[in-house]
């Protein structure tokens, strides 16, 4: 078992595993350090939460060889219905208006994680250190030395590049002394699933309410995933309700567009915050996914943003090998940071603005936002722009998100 790697990914969750899959079969030796066994029921990244994958994320997974495994298990989103509870504004987006087979797809984190893990376990060039925890990191001119604790033993690994994919409370980010700014929304996402009384027709609903957005997503032929963003002080009460009480409250907030709700699934809660970091890279270090940013789940942008981190970093790393550059050199990593900065800023600004705008009950603002929803519904140019943003097709996209291989002569028009 080797102790030296070209690239060491700390965090084997969905984002870290996706990067390892993107780089597999390439020129680099890859190590993955993960604290919780990936096949364990305790693995927080591979739980029963439903993820909304943008159309651009489908292309990325196609490019890294994972989509074929999850395609039979995804539910397409062909329509998005946006409304403001108790007011007149409604906007409807349809995939066919953008010439797409779907605006996005819904899959459980567990099913996606299993597909990623199957790819990693078949790849001999990728070594998993799991379960193992990082205890210390020393960054030097020629590489990084990473001390891990595994099976009650201490190991020292070396890498030319360390990639932190270890979550919003990233220990690697903290060890590197990179500051993170966190804005609490005062909301907690209560997630569950429900049987609708009427067919969902591949429609995702985003309904803004006085306590936060409520998303109801297609999750199979006769199930819908629920993401209820409630005030934090209300979340524990919602979790404690019996199924009948929860169903009645959910129905009252959502309305009757899907008929009477039936069987309710288990409920879990996740606190919501906006996190920004001062630095995305250092010499020998790059942050991706929640280690670099977290956003509100409204519009389902968070995981897709992290996946575009993966695609961009993988592309630059393979370009670096072709040109004979060191994958951990600061100049290269700063290109990654500069590339991702605009997408991070736009996505965080988009989701943050939605929450602030729809949380304000001042009548002129409420009327203006509902007029904006009507305008989106009626004006094709605005609607197409919103579809490009929500489906992960705006801005400077990595090759994988454009449906192109990671390397090649065709630059996709960039």
C-alpha distance from residue 328 to each of 6, 120, 332 (Å): 9, 23, 7
pLDDT at 1: 66
Q: Where are the alpha helices (DSSP H) in 255-288?
A: none
pLDDT at 365: 84
DSSP string, 139-177: E-SS-EEEEEEETTEEEEEEEEEEEE-S-TT-HHHHHTT
Mean pLDDT (10-residue bins), the chain, 414 residues: 91 96 95 86 80 96 96 97 90 92 95 93 91 96 96 95 97 97 94 97 94 94 96 95 97 96 95 94 98 92 96 97 96 97 92 85 84 89 89 91 77 37
Residue with tokens 């890294």: 64
Helix (H, G, I), strand (E, B) or coil at 128: strand
pLDDT at 408: 57
> Rounded to whole angstroms, how far apart are CA atoms 407 and 138?
32
> Rounded to whole angstroms, how far apart are CA atoms 112 and 47?
10
Helix (H, G, I), strand (E, B) or coil at 109: helix
pLDDT at 47: 85
Q: Where are the alpha helices (DSSP H) in 13-131?
A: 14-23, 55-63, 67-70, 109-122
- 228 CB burial (10 A radius; 0-12, 13-18, 19+): buried
> Rounded to whole angstroms, how far apart are CA atoms 220 and 106?
9
- 253 CB burial (10 A radius; 0-12, 13-18, 19+): middle
Q: Which residue from 332, 331, 340 is spatially nearest to 288, judged by alpha carbons?
A: 340
> Which two three-digit tokens encode residue 412?
């996709």
DSSP state of 66: -
C-alpha distance from residue 41 to each of 34, 47, 130, 298, 389 (Å): 14, 7, 14, 27, 34
Q: What domains are there in the chain, each with its CATH number?
A: 4-78+102-182+276-364+396-401 (3.50.50.60)
In sequence order, which residues have a C-beta less than 8 Å from that of residue 190 and are 6 or more positions away?
A: 226, 227, 228, 229, 230, 235, 238, 239, 267, 268, 269
pLDDT at 412: 37
> Are 106 and 227 in contact, with CB atoms under 8 Å apart?
no
C-alpha distance from residue 189 to each of 80, 196, 407 (Å): 20, 20, 39
β-strands 224-231, 180-194: how paired?
antiparallel
pLDDT at 37: 82
pLDDT at 141: 93
Q: Which residue from 310, 312, 305 is spatially nearest to 343, judged by alpha carbons?
A: 305
> Rounded to whole angstroms, how far apart are CA atoms 9 and 33?
6
């Amino acid at each position: 078992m080797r102790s030296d790697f070209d690239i060491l990914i700390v965090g084997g969750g969905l984002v870290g595993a996706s990067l390892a899959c993107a780089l597999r079969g390439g020129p680099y030796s890859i190590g993955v350090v993960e604290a919780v066994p990936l096949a364990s029921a305790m693995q927080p990244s591979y739980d029963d939460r439903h993820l909304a994958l943008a159309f651009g994320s489908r292309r990325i997974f196609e490019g890294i060889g994972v989509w074929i495994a999850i395609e039979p298990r995804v539910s397409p989103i062909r329509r998005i219905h946006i409304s403001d509870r108790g007011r007149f504004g409604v906007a409807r987006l349809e995939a066919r208006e953008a010439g797409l087979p779907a605006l996005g797809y819904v899959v459980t984190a567990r099913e996606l994680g299993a597909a990623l893990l199957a790819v990693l376990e078949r790849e001999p060039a990728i070594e998993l250190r799991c379960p193992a925890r990082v205890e210390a990191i020393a960054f030097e001119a020629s590489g990084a030395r990473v001390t891990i604790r595994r099976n009650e033993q201490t190991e020292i690994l070396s890498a030319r590049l360390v990639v932190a994919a270890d979550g919003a409370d990233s220990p690697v980010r903290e060890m590197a002394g990179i500051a993170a700014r966190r804005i609490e929304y005062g909301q907690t996402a209560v997630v569950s699933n429900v049987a609708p009384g009427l067919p969902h027709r591949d429609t995702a609903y985003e309904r803004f309410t006085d306590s936060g957005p409520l998303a109801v997503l297609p999750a199979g032929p006769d199930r819908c995933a629920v993401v209820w963003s409630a005030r934090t002080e209300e979340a524990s009460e919602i979790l404690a309700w019996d199924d009948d009480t929860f169903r009645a409250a959910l129905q009252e907030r959502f309305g009757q567009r899907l008929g009477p709700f039936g069987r309710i699934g288990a409920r879990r809660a996740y606190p919501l915050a906006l996190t920004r970091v001062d630095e995305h890279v250092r010499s020998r270090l790059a942050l991706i996914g929640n280690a670099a940013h977290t956003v509100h789940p409204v519009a389902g942008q968070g995981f897709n943003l992290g996946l575009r981190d993966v695609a961009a970093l993988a592309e630059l790393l393979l370009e670096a090998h072709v040109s004979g550059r060191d994958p951990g050199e600061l100049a290269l990593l700063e290109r990654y940071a500069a590339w991702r900065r605009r997408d991070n800023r736009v996505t965080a600004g988009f989701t943050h603005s939605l929450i602030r705008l729809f949380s304000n009950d001042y009548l002129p603002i409420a009327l203006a936002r509902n007029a904006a929803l009507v305008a989106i519904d009626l004006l094709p140019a605005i609607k197409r722009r919103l579809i490009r943003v929500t489906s992960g097709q705006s801005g400077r996209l990595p090759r994988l998100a454009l449906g192109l291989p990671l390397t090649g002569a065709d630059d996709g028009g960039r």
